[in-house]
A and B are shown apart, each in its own frame.
Chain A
Amino acid sequence: MSGIVPTVPREGLRGVYFDGQSAAAQEVRLVMDEGAGQLVLHGEVVDVAWRLEDVRLVPDQAGQGGLVLRSATDPAARLLTAHRELAESFPARHRRVAEIEAGRILRWALAAVASVALIVFVLVPTMANQLARFVPPEGEKALGDATLAQIRGALNENSEMGIRICVQPDGVLAFKSMADTLSASVDLPVPLTVTVLDHAMVNAFALPGGHIVFMRGLLDTAESAEEVAAVFAHEMGHVVSRDPTRHALRSAGSIGVLGLLFGDFAGGALVLFLTEQLIEAHYSQGAEAAADVFAYDVLAKAGIPPSALGAMFERFRAETGDAEGITAHFLSHPSLGTRIEAARAATPEGFEARPILSEADWVALKGICGKKP
């Protein structure tokens, strides 16, 4: 290596100075003038004095064989020297040289947060709500079919087909009879497609295009046909208000925006996922409450006491426990306790209940997956 930084100090202190005006390297002598508190540089055409408290080490240097120095008052001039022991003479050598105003950063930060919030919480949901109404039925159906296939695949990665759909003929007929009774009083935007998945999870959900999906676990846990019907009515509420379609459109918009914010730092995808959940929960709580109210009405018209929904929630709570506080915010549903009370309150005094299914149909429905309950 042909170094211009002298490495062996023989007499006096030497260095190389770049004045920041030309690329010419100037050999200089360094004089520490402790009395005047100055570092003086003398060269052929150089005569510079830096106050000791202005001298800074240029940070994060890879080279450990010398010093790269600058003055806080001169953005461009640099001094290279092999005399590492000089560093001790500069009291503020590690202090940052501020080059950007904090106020500007703060203003831009606020503008960015405000505009992202506006887009994610106002613009995207409003557009999703408006556009969801205009998606043609075939489009919604396709969206629902694609999502159902994804869910089946995600729940069972070992099989190419995903988890099994339960199709015992008697059970299917029983479900159809339940669907007919419940939808008699409702003007559905799309025909319903009911699917039962062979999985132990206690859950049911609606997908775009009139899909209502039950997990076997929910049928196993339910103790009467009315409890299943109550969940059914609740999911019909989502179908009628096209919540799943909105949800799909909204995530298409908001996931991209959040991806921008968190970018690609180690494991950013995880933070992204959690944030997305948080935002979704924020919307779905309103949608869930509306679907509950819708269900009370449908249930009452079909002769089922709305408190059946409450009974089903009791079982959820027994299975999984209720989430409160911070955790509740990450879940898409309002606290179960609140919903149980609301369901009880929606049942008028002296309600006359009619059974929704015969005893035989109820047994068939529970056995739709071909397993003994």
Chain B
Amino acid sequence: MSDFPETGPWHRRDTDVIPTQYRQVDPEPLDGDFVGDRGRVFELAVKTGILTVLTLGIYRFWMKTRLRRFYWSAVRFGGAPAEYLGDPLEKLLGFLFAVVILAFYIGVVNLVLMFLSYSFFQDNFVAYLLSFVGVVPLWFYARYRARRYVLARTRWRGIRFGLEPGAWGYAARAIGYWFVTIISAGLLWPLMTFRLEKYRTDRTWYGDCRLEQEGRWTMLYPAMRYVLLAALAGGVTLLAGLNGAPAFLIATAFCVPWFAYGIAYYRARSFEILTNTKRAGDVVFLSKPRPMRVFGIYLFGTMTSSLLSSLFLVPIGLALVAAVGALVGAEGAAGMSIDAVTSGTLTTIGILSYFVFFLAWAALTHTFITLPLWAHFTETLTVIDPGSLGTIRQRPRDEFEEAEGFAEALDVGAAI
């Protein structure tokens, strides 16, 4: 636990470890600023998205790199932008490496599972289940490896970040904490959030300075308040509503948006609590995100993105209606006789609007969800440097040639 939780994190200063020439009377606050604008991220996402589709997915390594360069460079503390130095070719290489290993695993293991499942259980459910269970450790492993790669390619003020190896340890802990979270019906969620964050943070370095996560897992419970209250109120009113007092069901309906707000509140507050109890040597952090703003971004962003991108599904719908109409018409006549030309045109329209829909969705979520969230969390964060930042030295480059290949091959969802 931090020594001065009441008086704010910047009061914690151990001046003895700061060389004399860097000692300052007052700590210097480095305010966060986010300089990226929506128009440019939309343009970048559309442009790189089109190239990705045209190259059958190969360009996605360049797309990811370019978007990350943009986001990273938009984040500034004390005016100095962060920089992303990942190389697209390096990502391609790591991906190919992961494919060589995973193709064998997935091809052979799935086939054998399907065989065993039908031989012993007369059903394919067991195969799907086992296949899924087998990939779970790999999934967490890949996430940690991807984080290691991204941190190793992130710099601020010319200094590299880094994450120590420890992916299997992370996978084991993640599975364990997910398990207790699920059997406790979500009540132990803060335990999982805190312990996994601590595992990652305590292995994170900025130059030669190690980060530390302080505090206890129970400090996250206040952040859970609306999730718990909404779930409780929703449950009670639902029971009352089903047992003869239907008026209570109206209250249940109100608990649904309340619960959604609770999730955004947890996201914002847990970030705030965890960030304010992190340290990098003497450097501490002050985060003040506003839960209502986070909720607003999710709500408005999801609505806008789905509304606008679904416009591109209209042609698919029309093509489907036309195709069904043609089929029904053919039923009456002898056999099927859709005009080959018409069906070709319909297929082309369908495929085109299918791709455009996905492109639009990706670009719009960048514009209306990812970017505003990054902006909000950055602008409400201050790095408080008591004068020791200048003493931090560079760390050696982590070659890490596998890059985030496993995460890419397994589609492990990352923010961007």
Contact = CB atoms under 8 A, between A and B. Distances in A.
A21 B44 CA distance: 32
Contacts of A104: 93
Interface in A30-70: 58-65, 68
B111 A59 contact: no
A22 B393 contact: yes
A120 B93 contact: no
Interface string B366-380: 000000000000000
A111 interface: yes
B92 interface: yes
A136 B118 CA distance: 8
Q: From B115, B206, B358, name the one whose CB has the most chain A CB atoms within 10 angstroms.
A: B115
A261 to B, nearest CB: 6
A20 B112 CA distance: 52
A116 interface: yes
Given A22-B159, A112-B100, A263 B110 contact: no
Interface residues of A, number: 84
A62 B71 contact: yes
B108 A253 contact: yes
Contacts of A268: 57
A263 B31 contact: no
B392 A221 contact: no
A360 interface: no
A141 B351 CA distance: 36
A353 interface: no
Contact of B49 (A143, A146, A259, A266): A266
Contacts of B393: 21-23
A187 interface: no
B330 A200 contact: yes
A139 B354 contact: no
B355 A139 contact: no
Q: From A65, A146, A260, name the one whose CB has the most chain B CB atoms within 10 angstroms.
A: A260
Nearest to B330: A200
B251 interface: no
B70 A201 contact: no
A8 interface: no
Contacts of A140: 118
Contact of A260 (B31, B40, B103, B115): B103
Interface stretch (A74-82, A174-182, A287-295): A74-82
Given A23-B392, A252-B114, A63 B158 contact: no
B93 A108 contact: yes
Interface string A116-138: 10011001100110010011101
Interface residues of B, dominant DSSP: helix
Contacts of A76: 155, 158, 160, 394
Interface in B68-115: 69-71, 73-74, 76, 78-81, 83, 87, 89-90, 92-93, 96-97, 99-100, 102-104, 106-108, 110-115
A23 B157 contact: yes
A248 B114 CA distance: 9
A56 B341 CA distance: 53
A105 interface: yes
Contact of B354 (A4, A267, A319): A267
B69 A60 contact: yes
B57 A271 contact: yes
Contacts of A102: 89
B244 interface: no
Contacts of B3: none
Contacts of B306: none
B119 interface: yes
A272 B397 CA distance: 37
Contacts of A20: 158-159, 394
A248 B119 CA distance: 13
Interface of A: 1-5, 16, 18-25, 58-65, 68, 75-78, 80, 99-100, 102, 104-105, 108-109, 111-112, 115-116, 119-120, 123-124, 127-128, 131, 134-136, 138-143, 146, 200-202, 217, 220-221, 248-250, 252-254, 256-257, 259-268, 270-271, 319, 321
27 contacts: A2-B30, A16-B80, A19-B158, A22-B158, A22-B391, A22-B393, A23-B392, A23-B393, A59-B66, A60-B44, A63-B76, A78-B155, A100-B90, A116-B99, A116-B100, A119-B103, A120-B103, A127-B112, A131-B112, A143-B118, A143-B124, A217-B336, A221-B335, A263-B408, A266-B53, A266-B358, A266-B362
Kindly list the 9 A-B residue pairs having the minimum CB-CB distance in the complex, ordered from nearest. Answer: A18-B158, A266-B358, A62-B74, A3-B79, A253-B111, A142-B122, A24-B390, A60-B69, A252-B114
